[in-house]
Amino acid sequence: MSHDIPSSHLEKSLMSALFTPIKLRGLALANRVMVAPMCQYSAENGEANDWHFTHINTLALSGAAMFCIEATHVEAIGRITPGCLGLWNDATEAALKPILASVRKHSKTAVAMQIAHAGRKGSSHVPWNGGQLIPISEGGWQTVAPSAVPHKEGEAAPLALDAAGLARIRDAFASAAKRADRLGIDALEVHGAHGYLLHQFLSPIANKRTDQYGGSLQNRMRYPLEVFDAVRAAFPADKPIGVKVSATDWVEGGWDLAQTIEFAKELKKRGVDWIDASSGGVSPLQKIPLSPGYQVPFAQAIKEAVGVNTIAIGLITEAKQAEEIVASGKADMVALARGMLYDPRWGWHAAAELGGQVQAPPQYWRSQPSTQKALFGTTTFGAR
């Protein structure tokens, strides 16, 4: 005995999970792919320039539903390197305006921004010049941190933040959020990972405070949660805000997944819209077992334990790999960095492979392969 399967069911079963829509507050995304924030170390006094214009406009046409601008620092001493992007004054805000205007003219991708403070990992050389701490005598600056503990043995110690410093940085995050909204940014990601300031507060490796911001897990979470609350209050209620976390320090006695889950629970109470699950960065003693998708289990564990949207990252390069992550429910979205740099049309190619559709400007519609005429949702291109 045979049964006919309704065509609607067949279509649903064949639909790519990666290319189904998702809504984050008032932001509707056409697919589950984000271009991850990638430091370019190419700004001047925190100001974006022609490099950022080319970089951002190129990847805004990748087919990803959302592009996230690189770690954008909330004060000058919060930069990782002298070449890092910032959003702390009128000049840094103005430098981004023409770039975003161009993106909006040619792309329908949502534009997010990661806002950050490097803490004790600031005042560093760019990676291609070694990435080590720049002494003040050589043009560096005095870094700050939860405690006067250097990131690396032999480096100059950061200054431990006092009450005034904590308030200044918290207010700087809120101010950056307001500037981002003025620029028309659609979403924010608060950087709480990779050994930067907010991660430094979370990790007992970097946080040796004995006041209300150190010691217990509740105390170590306090300042990052205060910063999130300040950002949430400063950004429109219909625009989403996520948080990037390092789910483990990969060091014995450091921050770990169990603590990350507790942090995510507190963020969920405060209305966080996603958790971007990364790892490492707070100690040079870390031992990271790299392999394709090695961080996906963190996103899955957080999603299952907390019930919050998660973004999976880390050596995700293949379309079928990304599809499996979303289709199996391990994460709600994926974010690609190096893979997007290597293939700036990754989203197009993934959609072609998985049977999805992406948006592209009409100037590029003729690029559709003869076997993929529905890739851009259009089948004609008039010419005579």
- Angle at which helix 346-354 crosses helix 319-327, to 10 degrees, equals 70
Rounded to 10 degrees, what is the CA torsion of 95, 97, 98, 99? 80
Predicted confidence at residue 306, as pLDDT, reads 98
Angle at CA of residue 276, ends 265 and 245, nearest 5°: 65
325 token code pair? 């992550």
Q: Is the pTM of this model over 0.85?
A: yes
Fold of the 27-344 domain: TIM Barrel (3.20.20)
Predicted confidence at residue 7, as pLDDT, reads 38
Question: Three-state secondary structure along 116-179?
Answer: ECCHHHCCECCHHHCCCECCHHHCCCCCEECCCCCCCCCCCCCEECCHHHHHHHHHHHHHHHHH
Predicted confidence at residue 368, as pLDDT, reads 84
| Count of positions (residues) in the chain | 384
DSSP assignment of 276-340 equals EEE---S-TT------TTTTHHHHHHHHHHH---EEE-SS---HHHHHHHHHTTS-SEEEESHHH
Catalytic residue among 41, 196, 213, 223: 196
Asked if 203 and 254 touch (Cβ cutoff 8 Å), the reply is: yes
> Mean pLDDT in runs of 10 for the chain (384 residues)?
38 76 98 98 98 98 98 98 98 98 97 98 97 96 98 96 98 99 98 98 98 98 98 98 98 97 98 98 93 95 98 96 98 97 97 94 87 72 51
User: Quick one: how far is CA 341 from the chain centroid?
Assistant: 15
Integer Cα distance of 198 and 243 in angstroms? 11
Is there a catalytic annotation at residue 196? yes
Residue-range domain boundaries for the chain = 27-344
Integer Cα distance of 29 and 235 in angstroms? 19
